[in-house]
């Protein structure tokens, strides 16, 4: 027990949720978009939300408060706007340069307007947040035209908070951008680095003039292979920024994994004052620090509280980590592992979880208190008082039966017979991905049922009549393998989470997915099992309405994990196997009920791929193993389908083959069926359904277009293994377009079949 006061350890967070405790930002934006409120009204809501965040962080005892972590839509888009890097198509000459005009242009880039499609949206690293991808070309000139960071800094200062403005760093910004369509072949945005860094220099000077003492430049790209390979650029950027005369202190912040000793050495030797590292995502951070002999006089901002999961911290173990880190740096700040953007705001808003689960949870508000507590404990000499106990998350939620069942499985539980014949005798079998349009009526019925205003039997009757209509429509269109349309599902993960033991859902646990869109990820807290069949009632009902085969629809283990908050007390692969076992039971029940086609969606297989290549093998092993566990209990004559979104097929094609599904449907329309050539070359031996049209667009594809895609496909792949389907589920479309598109698809398949 030491009584000496420790070094002055400070506390901070990388960022905080911006949507508001009651999704105020979503409501304000949607009302502004509809024209129901003015730009000034929207700005007032935004300003109140920002000030509320500063006050919350202050109240939690956080020493150093970040600003400019607010965004109306996305921080990468904000950065593009700050430096005048929006494509010209969003320019509107008739538009006033006032707040309203600026906001309109901003939202046009985010959401698109007539004649100007929005910027592409994609996943922010391996989170479920999406950013907008800047489009750059050699003739753009980054210039510091925006003033958002300065305005928000001043606003906070007026309210009594001298904050640390946060910006996406130049390296991350450029490596996440893409070359515009008109950029020369082979040109990449990183070529703009020096000009962009000059523009950053000017923003730093403005912030300094406004009174900022420190800025944070986020460089999470350093956690990826691509970022780790850009050391020359990293050095150039930060030597230049660090060398400016009149500037705030610079914190280069990294997260979503360790950055490796080489990048760390570059940062240590560059003239920046502080470096932020993540000590939660993997356990290499300390080894990296040791390899560079510590940070010396560069301040370490140590991410020791998990920023993107919902478990309470193990405080004694965090104290121990910080103790080790204190020997590797002269100055230390305690922080979260990344921005708290990725977790819900306040556990206090929840009332329905079991007390044992609640005791294991921490949302953003609780995490800021953990960070502040660690700061105090360390400052007081390393062994201060704290009353948070050390229950390991999930430890209380073991189900011995689940474990025994998994233990008892032999290798044959993961294998189907190699030779099991062709899934159908029809070439170019037509089908869909699962969901049909979700009408307003259906959504209203679900909401009323949830509120207890619509009795179970009445609700079920509505679902059955929806299934009747979807089946009749598919028969009329002439599809071969039908679906029930998924009318009973609010969401492909939440629906199952609500029916599995070991999973909890939240009432207010909203997290920003993109723009104003928020999701409420379920929480996978304990051993998973299936108390009762989850989908059999609906699929068998659908099958009873038609002589054609109806395909059962389930969500696979990887996707069930990817779109949830998952326990961390055991390897993900182990948790995935538990989910797989529950799905295996469902698959068996479907088969027993006479269902001959069963689809297990792995929409998230590609997006869950680890950021660094050296971790991908292990991931694919458990991802593939759990899929096979879920599906290989069926007889050889049952057709197992899977579906994947995203077409960057090359990265995971080996994994897809290893899933050993009889039929894989995959997004292909936006990449113009490129993958069929690949698959042909590889001699892919199971069925494949490259999506023949893009369901993300409201445009109805013509018969000729689809026919051309199919002819291209049959020139590379054997027609017997080729399936014909859209590239994803139809739930976001209207009936009118969906029906016409499917009719055209069936006609195109008929024409191509006739010529075989």
Q: How many CB atoms lie within 10 A of CB 370?
A: 23
Q: Where are the beta strands (DSSP E) in 105-187?
A: 121-123, 130-132, 135-136, 164-168, 178-179
Alpha-carbon gap, residue 559 to 576, rounded angstroms: 9
- Residue 140 binds: one of Zn ion, ligand GLN, none (C-beta under 5 to 8 A by kind): none
Q: What is the largest CA-CA distance in the chain?
A: 87
Residue 121 beta carbon to ligand GLN: minimum distance, rounded to whole angstroms: 15
Alpha-carbon gap, residue 76 to 515, rounded angstroms: 12
Residue 436 beta carbon to ligand GLN: minimum distance, rounded to whole angstroms: 8
- Beta bridge mates, 178: 135
Shorter beta-carbon distance to Zn ion: residue 175 or 695: 695
Shorter beta-carbon distance to Zn ion: residue 177 or 431: 431
Q: Let me know how long the chain is.
A: 756
Shorter beta-carbon distance to ligand GLN: residue 216 or 642: 642
Q: How far is CA 741 from CA 288, 432, 703, 725, in A?
A: 54, 11, 8, 11
Q: Is the backbone of residue 598 left (phi > 0), alpha (psi -120 to 50) or beta?
A: beta
Residue 471 beta carbon to ligand GLN: minimum distance, rounded to whole angstroms: 16
- Residue 551 binds: one of ligand GLN, Zn ion, none (C-beta under 5 to 8 A by kind): none
- Which alpha helices (H) appear in 177-259, and where do they start and end? 193-210, 225-228, 231-242
- Residue 189 binds: one of ligand GLN, Zn ion, none (C-beta under 5 to 8 A by kind): none
Can residue 605 be called a binding residue for Zn ion (CB under 5 A)?
Answer: no
Shorter beta-carbon distance to ligand GLN: residue 303 or 729: 729
Candidates 101-109, 120-128, 291-299, 637-645: pick the segment binding Zn ion (CB under 5 A). Answer: 637-645
Alpha-carbon gap, residue 72 to 25, rounded angstroms: 8
Shorter beta-carbon distance to ligand GLN: residue 20 or 434: 434
Shorter beta-carbon distance to Zn ion: residue 325 or 728: 728
Q: What angle do CA 436, 439, 441 make, to 5 degrees?
A: 140
Task: Collapse the DSSP code of 123 into the 3-class scheme (helix H, G, I; strand E, B; otherwise coil) and give the result.
Answer: strand
Q: Is the backbone of residue 592 left (phi > 0), alpha (psi -120 to 50) or beta?
A: alpha
Can residue 645 be called a binding residue for Zn ion (CB under 5 A)?
Answer: yes
Residue 270 beta carbon to Zn ion: minimum distance, rounded to whole angstroms: 43
Alpha-carbon gap, residue 542 to 391, rounded angstroms: 46
- Residue 586 binds: one of ligand GLN, Zn ion, none (C-beta under 5 to 8 A by kind): none
- Residue 340 binds: one of Zn ion, ligand GLN, none (C-beta under 5 to 8 A by kind): none
Build a one-symbol-per-residue string for 280-319: x at contacts with Zn ion by CB under 5 A, - elsewhere.
Answer: ----------------------------------------
Residue 633 beta carbon to ligand GLN: minimum distance, rounded to whole angstroms: 21
Reference 292, options 331, 324, 313, 266; nearest CA is 266
Tell me, yes or no, if 696 is annotated catalytic: yes
Shorter beta-carbon distance to ligand GLN: residue 264 or 553: 553
Q: How many CB atoms lie within 10 A of CB 484?
A: 28
Shorter beta-carbon distance to ligand GLN: residue 216 or 432: 432
Alpha-carbon gap, residue 696 to 689, rounded angstroms: 17
Sign of the dihedral defined by the CA atoms of residues 448, 451, 455, 457, in that order: positive
Task: Collapse the DSSP code of 622 into the 3-class scheme (helix H, G, I; strand E, B; otherwise coil) and give the result.
Answer: helix
Residue 524 beta carbon to ligand GLN: minimum distance, rounded to whole angstroms: 19
Place of tokens 């200062």: 157
Place of tokens 């950021």: 611
Can residue 554 be called a binding residue for Zn ion (CB under 5 A)?
Answer: no
Q: Where are the beta strands (DSSP E) in 550-589?
A: 551-555, 565-566
- Residue 434 binds: one of ligand GLN, Zn ion, none (C-beta under 5 to 8 A by kind): ligand GLN
- Residue 553 binds: one of Zn ion, ligand GLN, none (C-beta under 5 to 8 A by kind): ligand GLN
Shorter beta-carbon distance to Zn ion: residue 500 or 728: 728
What would the two tokens of residue 162 be? 């001298």
Candidates 148-156, 204-212, 601-609, 687-695: pick the segment binding Zn ion (CB under 5 A). Answer: 601-609
Residue 418 beta carbon to ligand GLN: minimum distance, rounded to whole angstroms: 27
Shorter beta-carbon distance to ligand GLN: residue 370 or 486: 486
Q: Give the residue nearest to ligand GLN (CB).
A: 729
- Residue 492 binds: one of ligand GLN, Zn ion, none (C-beta under 5 to 8 A by kind): ligand GLN
Candidates 222-230, 250-258, 280-288, 603-611: pick the segment binding Zn ion (CB under 5 A). Answer: 603-611
Alpha-carbon gap, residue 688 to 704, rounded angstroms: 21
Q: Which of residues 683-742 bind Zn ion (CB under 5 A)?
A: 728
Task: Collapse the DSSP code of 686 into the 3-class scheme (helix H, G, I; strand E, B; otherwise coil) and give the result.
Answer: coil
Q: What angle do CA 204, 208, 209 make, to 5 degrees?
A: 120
Alpha-carbon gap, residue 279 to 263, rounded angstroms: 16
Reference 746, options 729, 726, 717; nearest CA is 726
- Beta bridge mates, 332: 300
Q: Are 597 and 638 in contact (CB under 8 A)?
A: yes
Shorter beta-carbon distance to ligand GLN: residue 21 or 729: 729
- Beta bridge mates, 66: 164
Q: What angle do CA 511, 513, 518 make, to 5 degrees?
A: 55
Q: What number of chain residues touch Zn ion (CB under 5 A)? A: 3
Residue 126 beta carbon to ligand GLN: minimum distance, rounded to whole angstroms: 17
- Residue 731 binds: one of ligand GLN, Zn ion, none (C-beta under 5 to 8 A by kind): ligand GLN
What would the two tokens of residue 23 be? 């999704």
Residue 445 beta carbon to ligand GLN: minimum distance, rounded to whole angstroms: 18
Alpha-carbon gap, residue 445 to 463, rounded angstroms: 9
CA 628 to chain centre: 24
Task: Collapse the DSSP code of 251 into the 3-class scheme (helix H, G, I; strand E, B; otherwise coil) and give the result.
Answer: strand
Residue 509 beta carbon to Zn ion: minimum distance, rounded to whole angstroms: 24
Query: Within 13 Å, how many C-alpha atoms sit on residue 551's CB side?
Result: 28
Which of 342, 449, 643, 696 is flagged as catalytic?
696
Q: Are 334 and 369 in contact (CB under 8 A)?
A: no
Binding site for ligand GLN (CB under 6 A): 433-435, 486, 492, 553, 601, 603, 643, 645, 728-729, 731
Shorter beta-carbon distance to ligand GLN: residue 214 or 486: 486
Alpha-carbon gap, residue 750 to 482, rounded angstroms: 17
Residues forming the active site? 696
* Residues of this chain that bind Zn ion (CB under 5 A): 603, 645, 728
């Amino acid at each position: 027990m030491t009584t000496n006061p420790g070094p002055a350890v400070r506390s901070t967070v990388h960022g905080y949720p911006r949507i508001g405790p009651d999704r105020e930002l979503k409501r304000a934006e949607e009302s502004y978009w509809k024209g129901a409120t003015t730009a000034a009204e929207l700005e007032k809501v935004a300003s109140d939300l920002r000030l509320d965040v500063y006050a919350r962080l202050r109240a939690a005892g956080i020493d150093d408060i970040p600003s400019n972590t607010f965004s109306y839509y996305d921080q990468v888009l904000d950065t593009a706007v700050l430096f005048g890097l929006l494509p010209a198509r969003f320019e509107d000459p008739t538009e006033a340069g006032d707040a309203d005009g600026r906001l309109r242009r901003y939202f046009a880039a985010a959401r698109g307007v007539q004649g100007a499609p929005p910027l592409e949206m994609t996943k922010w690293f391996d989170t479920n947040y999406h950013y907008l991808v800047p489009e750059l070309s050699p003739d753009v000139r980054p210039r510091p035209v925006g003033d958002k960071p300065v305005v928000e800094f001043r606003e906070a200062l007026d309210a009594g908070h001298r904050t640390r403005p946060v910006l996406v760093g130049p390296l991350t910004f450029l490596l996440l951008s893409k070359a515009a369509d008109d950029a020369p072949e082979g040109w990449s945005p990183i070529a703009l680095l020096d000009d962009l860094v000059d523009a950053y220099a000017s923003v730093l000077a403005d912030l300094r003039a406004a009174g900022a003492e420190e800025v944070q430049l986020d460089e999470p790209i350093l956690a990826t292979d691509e970022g780790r390979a850009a050391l020359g650029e990293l050095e150039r950027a930060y030597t230049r920024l660090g060398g400016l005369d009149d500037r705030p202190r610079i914190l280069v912040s990294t997260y979503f994994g360790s950055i490796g000793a080489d990048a760390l050495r570059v940062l240590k030797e560059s003239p920046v004052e502080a470096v932020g590292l993540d000590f939660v995502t993997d356990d290499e951070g300390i080894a990296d620090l040791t390899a560079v002999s510590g940070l010396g006089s560069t301040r370490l901002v140590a991410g020791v509280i998990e920023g993107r999961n919902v478990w309470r911290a193990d405080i004694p173990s965090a104290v121990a980590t910080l103790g080790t880190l204190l020997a590797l740096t002269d100055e230390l700040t305690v922080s979260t592992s990344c921005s708290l953007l990725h977790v819900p705001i306040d556990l206090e808003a929840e009332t329905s979880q079991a007390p044992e689960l609640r005791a294991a949870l921490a949302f953003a508000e609780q995490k800021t208190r953990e960070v502040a507590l660690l700061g105090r404990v360390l400052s007081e000499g390393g062994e201060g008082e704290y009353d948070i106990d050390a229950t390991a998350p999930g430890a209380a939620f073991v189900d011995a039966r689940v474990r025994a069942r998994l233990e008892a499985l032999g290798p044959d539980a993961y294998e189907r017979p190699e030779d099991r014949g062709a899934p159908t005798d029809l070439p170019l079998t037509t089908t869909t991905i699962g969901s049909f349009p979700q009408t307003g009526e259906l959504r209203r019925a679900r909401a009323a049922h949830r509120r207890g205003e619509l009795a179970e039997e009445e609700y079920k009757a509505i679902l059955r009549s929806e299934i009747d209509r979807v089946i009749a429509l598919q028969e009329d269109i002439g599809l071969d393998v039908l679906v029930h349309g998924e009318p009973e599902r609010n969401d492909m993960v939440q629906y199952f989470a609500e029916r599995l033991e070991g999973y909890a859902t939240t009432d207010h646990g909203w997290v920003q997915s993109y723009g104003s869109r928020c999701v409420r990820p379920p929480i996978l807290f304990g051993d998973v099992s299936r108390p009762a069949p989850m989908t059999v009632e609906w699929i068998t009902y659908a099958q009873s309405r038609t002589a054609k085969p109806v395909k059962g629809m389930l969500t696979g283990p990887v996707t069930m994990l990817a779109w949830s908050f998952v326990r961390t007390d055991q390897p993900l692969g182990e948790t995935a196997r538990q989910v797989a076992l529950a799905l295996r039971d469902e698959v068996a029940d479907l088969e027993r009920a006479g269902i001959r086609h069963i689809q297990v969606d792995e929409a998230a297989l590609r997006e869950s791929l680890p950021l660094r290549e050296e971790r991908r093998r292990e991931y694919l092993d458990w991802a593939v193993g759990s899929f096979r566990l879920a599906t290989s209990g069926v007889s050889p004559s049952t057709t197992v389908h899977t579906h994947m979104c995203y077409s960057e097929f090359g990265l995971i094609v080996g994994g897809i083959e290893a899933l050993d599904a009889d039929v894989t449907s995959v997004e292909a329309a936006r990449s113009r069926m490129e993958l069929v050539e690949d698959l042909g070359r590889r001699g892919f031996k199971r069925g494949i359904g490259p999506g023949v049209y893009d369901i993300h667009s409201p445009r109805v594809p013509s018969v000729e277009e689809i026919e051309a895609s199919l002819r291209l496909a049959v020139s590379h792949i054997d027609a017997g293994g080729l399936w014909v389907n859209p590239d994803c589920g139809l739930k976001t479309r209207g009936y009118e377009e969906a029906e016409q598109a499917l009719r055209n698809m069936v006609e195109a398949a008929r024409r191509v079949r006739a010529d075989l």
